[in-house]
Structure 1
């Protein structure tokens, strides 16, 4: 289970780095800071699934409360939205045992 959590965290961090590189190259080309919102990146990838996700959230019991939270998350930079859970999952999947390092003069 730890392997799956750690692998998922690594994938999310990798995707976050890709989005950060895209934002960086766009910023260099524009001679200013450009940040792509997570909602915009999701729209570029698959607009129909974003509309379906919004409709799913709206149809739930606490839909209006959750919808506001989802809109805030969708307005954040894409690399932040992916990096934070990625780092947390990678940290949660780490090995719990402490490692003992031995110096050469202790052998």
Structure 2
């Protein structure tokens, strides 16, 4: 299970880093801070799937609440939306080994 968490967390962090680099190069090109929202990125990659996800979530019991949450998430930069869960998931998958500290008088 920890392996799956580490792989998923690393994958999310990798995609977040790619999105951060894309925003950084756009910012350098325009001499202004450019933050591309997740919604814009998703629309440019595959707009039809975004509409399908919205339609799927609208048909659920908490559809109106989910629509508000998804709309809010899609306005944030993509690297933030993927990076924060990536850090948390990778942290959950860390190894559980005990740290052994040696006192100076034990040397």
Question: What is the TM-score of this pair, normalised by structure 2?
Answer: 0.91
Partner of 1:67: 67
Q: Unpaired runs of 5+ in structure 1? A: none
Quote the offset at 1:98 in angstroms: 1.5
Aligned partner of 1:76 in structure 2 is 76
Gaps in structure 2 of 5+ consecutive residues: none
Residues 42-61 of structure 1 show CA distances to partners (whole Å, capped at 9, x for unaligned) of: 11111111010000111111
Q: 2 CA distance for matches of 1:30 and 1:19? A: 17
Q: Which residue of 2 aligns with 1:95?
A: 95
Superposed, which structure 2 residues align to 1:31-42 within 5 Å?
31-42=31-42
SS in 2 for 1:51: helix
Indicate whether 1:21 and 2:25 are aligned: no
SS in 2 for 1:95: coil
CA distance in 1, matches of 2:40, 2:98: 42
Structure-1-length-normalised TM-score: 0.91
Per-residue deviation, residues 47-101 of structure 1 (Å, max 9, x unmatched): 1110100001111111111100100000000000000110000000001121336
Q: For the residues of structure 2 that align with 1:2 and 1:37, how far apart are their CA atoms?
A: 30
Aligned positions, number: 104
In 2, the alpha carbon distance for the partners of 1:98 and 1:42 equals: 41
